[in-house]
Amino acid sequence: DGGATWSPDGSKLAFHRVSAAPPISSDIYAINVDGTGLGQLTNSPGEDNNPNWSPDGSRIVFESTRDGNYEIYVMNADGSGQVNLSNSPSSEEFPEWSPDGARIIFASDRTGNEDLFVMNRDGLGIQQVTFGASDDWPGTWSPDASRIAFASNAPGNNDIFTMNSDGTGVQQVTTNSADDWLPDWSPGGSEIAFSSSRSGTKDIYVIRLDGSSAVAVTSDPAGDFDPSWSP
Question: In this structure, which topology does domain 1-128 adopt according to CATH?
Answer: Neuraminidase (2.120.10)
Distance CA 72, CA 37 (A): 26
pLDDT band at residue 22 under the 50/70/90 scheme = confident
Distance CA 60, CA 38 (A): 16
pLDDT in tens, 160-203: 999 999 999 999 999 999 999 999 999 999 999 999 999 899 99
Q: Are 129 and 148 in contact (CB under 8 A)?
A: yes
Residues 6+ positions from 112 with CB-CB distance below 8 Å: none
Q: Are 19 and 68 in contact (CB under 8 A)?
A: no
Residues paired with 181 in a beta bridge: 195
Signed CA dihedral, 66, 53, 1, 81: sign only: negative
pLDDT in tens, 45-97: 999 999 999 999 999 999 999 999 999 999 999 999 999 999 999 999 999 99
pLDDT in tens, 218-231: 998 888 999 999 99
Would you kindly state where each structural domain of the chain is located, as residue ranges? 1-128, 144-231
Q: Is the pLDDT of residue 112 over 90?
A: yes
